Amino acid sequence: MLFRISPIWWPFLGLLSPALAPFLLKKNRKYRENLDLSGQLNEERINAAQPLDIPELDFLEITVIVDEKAEEGFTGEAGVCYLFRSDRGSLLYDVAFGPERPALVDNATRLGIRLEEIDAVCISHLHPDHMGGLKATRTKQVTIPEELGRPSGQPCYLPDKAEAEGFKCELVRGPQLLSAGIATTGPLARSLFFLGKTEEQALIARIKGKGLVVFTGCGHPTIETIVQMTRKLSDDPIYAIGGGLHFPISGGRGNRLGVQIQTIVGTGKPFWKRINNEDLDKTIDSLNAIRPRKFFPSAHDTCDYALSRMTQELDTETKILSSGKTYKL
């Protein structure tokens, strides 16, 4: 049996319970308020969305700079950083843990990727594994290692209020075109028990003769909600879906000191409830109903058990994203 918190911590939690109980009750009240608010906001945003003139791309390729799985010679970590290249330019999606962990510098250096060659940056949501580390989240400052070069005023598209030194920051308020001919769904909300109301934007691209590509950071708003918004923006078929979907069913990534952090934080459920097979069943059914031709799941927030089920049960070609690899769509 998997314990999300190691039994070694139980005596300490028992001693702390008089202080923890009021804290958790307060968190639960706010979680429930945000649950209603997030549902309302997403419904309003989707209902208000209008078709977006997403340009047809001659080609699109995605280089995985950071993800949990890794090619030989590359570093894997429970964060993400993807470089999108098209015939219209380039867009960096998320910056993993930035300078706090070695993967971004190691892998980008090995791939020969420099910041001055990138047209723009887009941050999916303001969590440490996407915007540059714990300090970046605390200070709301997107942080990229100096080893990759200095920004020169490129756009940095943000789903919520934050800063990014050296970039021209743009707060995304709804669906719009970004750089490289790629669009954003705009922020979509999810109530997370410990992390509060989280705003996350997903990317949408349109490939000539194939259809739409939808890519997520963590998929906190759920892929069902993200696809609902995508349908309002374009009636083209969905050719591919990729990115994180947050299914740490059998265990999480990046565990520390006997605590399965991802199974407690970020699932969209109160901390005493676990994400389970029934939740995964619904998402697999939804993906099969969407019928994408290709599926590229991230392992950074999804366990190997869930990835195995997806690979076996989805009626599509499935390739798990791997650091150091380029996928030509």
Rounded distance between C-alpha atoms, residue 203 and residue 34, angstroms: 24
Rounded distance between C-alpha atoms, residue 190 and residue 68, angstroms: 23
Phi-psi category of 6—alpha, beta or left, where left has phi over 0 and alpha has psi -120 to 50? beta
State the DSSP string of 1-57: ---SB-GGGHHHHHHHHHHHHHHHHHHHHHHHHHHHHHHHHHHHHHHH-----PPEE
| Domain topology for 43-328 | Metallo-beta-lactamase; Chain A (3.60.15)
CA angle (295, 301, 307) in 5-degree steps: 45
Please give the pLDDT value at position 189. 98
Please give the pLDDT value at position 300. 97
Q: Where are the domains of the chain?
A: 43-328
Please give the pLDDT value at position 1. 54
Print pLDDT tens along the chain (329 aa). 578 888 888 888 788 888 888 888 999 999 999 999 999 999 999 999 999 999 999 999 999 999 999 999 999 999 999 999 999 999 999 999 999 999 999 999 999 999 999 999 999 999 999 999 999 999 999 999 999 999 999 999 999 999 999 999 999 999 999 999 999 999 999 999 999 999 999 999 999 999 999 999 999 999 999 999 999 999 999 999 999 999 999 998 988 888 888 988 889 999 889 999 999 999 999 999 999 999 999 999 999 999 999 999 999 999 999 999 999 99
What predicted TM-score, i.e. pTM, was given to this entire model?
0.96
Please give the pLDDT value at position 325. 98
